[in-house]
Amino acid sequence: KQEVTQIPAALSVPEGENLVLNCSFTDSAIYNLQWFRQDPGKGLTSLLLIQSSQREQTSGRLNASLDKSSGRSTLYIAASQPGDSATYLCAVGLSNDYKLSFGAGTTVTVRA
Amino acid sequence: DAGVIQSPRHEVTEMGQEVTLRCKPISGHNSLFWYRQTMMRGLELLIYFNNNVPIDDSGMPEDRFSAKMPNASFSTLKIQPSEPRDSAVYFCASSRRAPQLQPQHFGDGTRLSIL
């Protein structure tokens, strides 16, 4: 069974600092990995999707890397802003399987 | 793009009552997912439909839970009878053709409280 872990559970940084969020998974035979953002009282918004054949994906200030061999992914958010405050979840898709295994998330607070 | 629409946003009802949650997926998406989110268990997949057909309902907790997708633009999740332990946020998500390749788009959820 795929286990997805996100550490730390919560993170508080001053505005302008770069954010580094970690995700680890136990089964390296993944199909893809997604990073989601969840705002309070809202659903999940997909930020980046990395296929298993890719090493990283970038969108604006966001960059996600994937290292299948070590079972890790990292989400970098450059020059954080108060609007980046949210919970960030990673989800792993297994090969030939539509199911996603979600981590518990990291709650980020960016202080103005 | 209107996004995934769920209703109601909040539901408070007494134990034993029937609860029906509704979902309208994004037009053109042919995969639909129902999830439940709790503090204790995080996000759990309840059921997955592809082209309106239930493919995997192994996550449905008990026979009290049932889901239908009568057409491509509507799905329901029903709990009968409801119990306090069913209290959670229920999300509907949809994606296009190959869910493994396309991101899932989530609705804002229904926050369900069973008293």
Q: Would you place residue A28 in the very low, low, confident or very high pLDDT band (cuts 50, 70, 90)?
A: confident
Residue B99 confidence (pLDDT) above 60: no
| Residues above pLDDT 90, as percent of chain B | 83
Chain B residues with beta carbon closer than 8 angstroms to that of A98: 31, 48, 50, 55-56, 99-100
| Short-list B26, B59, B46, CA closest to A46 | B26
Backbone angles phi, psi at B42, to 5 degrees: 70, -145
Interchain proximity B55–A99, CB inside 8 Å: no
Residue B100 confidence (pLDDT) above 90: no
| Short-list B83, B42, B89, B34, CA closest to B63 | B83
Interchain proximity B109–A42, CB inside 8 Å: yes
Chain B residues with beta carbon closer than 8 angstroms to that of A100: 45, 104
